[in-house]
Amino acid sequence: MEIKNTINLDTNSLVKESLSKAISYQDYRGQVATHVENGTSSGPDKSEALSNYTLLNNSRMKRLDATMKIEEDVLEKFQQYHKNVTWLVLTESWCGDAAHAMPVMNKLVEQAKNLDFKILYRDENEELMNRFLTNGTMSIPKLIAFDNETQEVIKDWGPSPLIIINKTKDFKAAHATLTTEFKKEIQIWYNQNKGKCIARDLLKLIE
């Protein structure tokens, strides 16, 4: 059997190749639900904490899928978007930021005729992840916007809305580490914002 060496692939070719093994949002949701049933999580590292995060994220995504509302002006712009583009997202079942962001991504993609949404697990795709690091770290979720006609990466987004990135940066600068209280504050913000900032961040990917 031929073993394909991807080390020398340019980023566009690597993304194209990776898309061939990516799964749909619906399949991802199903796999997360299976992890919940089995008390497990995605990725090579297994722990009770990661399983509990997966359980929590499954509940978050289920709630957001059912109740989240996108603002009308954002919906209209996605409905008017006609480029043939795939949003490829790197994530893991235990990632809290992803649980808030991915239902928003799915709602937006449903509005655009030629916009597709595919998912890969980060730890199964480290070479691709290493092309899209955030400050040198493998932070997720990471969205890669790939133009299917030009076969090029056009934009990327992640791992969280800009307002959270800035809050986190400022807190680290002042306190060196992220406290439990700060993390709780971020979750409260996510719950109160209901995906609005994420949707407006993602709108920039099509402008």
| pLDDT value at residue 175 | 92
Kindly give, in sequence order, each residue whose CB lies less than 8 Å from that of residue 202, ignoring residues fewer than 6 positions away. Answer: 104, 105, 108, 143, 157
**How does DSSP assign 17-78, residue by residue?**
HHHTT-EEHHHHHHHHHHHHHHT--SSS---HHHHHHHHHHHHHHHHHHHH----HHHHHHH
Sheet holding 115-121, edge to edge: 23-24, 115-121, 85-91, 142-147, 152-157
The pLDDT tens digits for 58-86 are: 999 999 999 999 999 999 999 999 999 99
Q: Please give the model's pTM, rounded to 2 decimal places.
A: 0.92
6 has a pLDDT exceeding 90: no
Closest CA to 91 of 38, 53, 36, 65: 53
Amino acid at 183: K
- The β-bridge relationship of strands 85-91 and 115-121 is parallel
> What mean pLDDT is predicted for residues 40-48?
96
Q: What angle do CA 192, 182, 170 make, to 5 degrees?
A: 100
The pLDDT tens digits for 181-201 are: 999 999 999 999 999 999 999
| pLDDT value at residue 9 | 73
> What mean pLDDT is predicted for residues 123-139?
96
Q: What is the Cα–Cα distance from 29 to 31, expressed in whole angstroms?
A: 5
**8 Å CB contact between 139 and 159:** yes
Task: Give strand pairing partners of 144.
Answer: 88, 156
| pLDDT value at residue 1 | 35
20 has a pLDDT exceeding 50: yes
**Lowest model confidence (mean pLDDT) among 32-46, 139-153, 171-185:** 171-185
Kindly give, in sequence order, each residue whose CB lies less than 8 Å from that of residue 80, ignoring residues fewer than 6 positions away. Answer: none
Percent of residues, the chain, with pLDDT higher than 70: 96
- The β-bridge relationship of strands 115-121 and 152-157 is unpaired
What is the largest distance, in Å, between two alpha-carbon atoms of the chain?
A: 54
Kindly give, in sequence order, each residue whose CB lies less than 8 Å from that of residue 152, ignoring residues fewer than 6 positions away. Answer: 12, 146
Task: Write the class of the CATH domain 11-203.
Answer: alpha beta
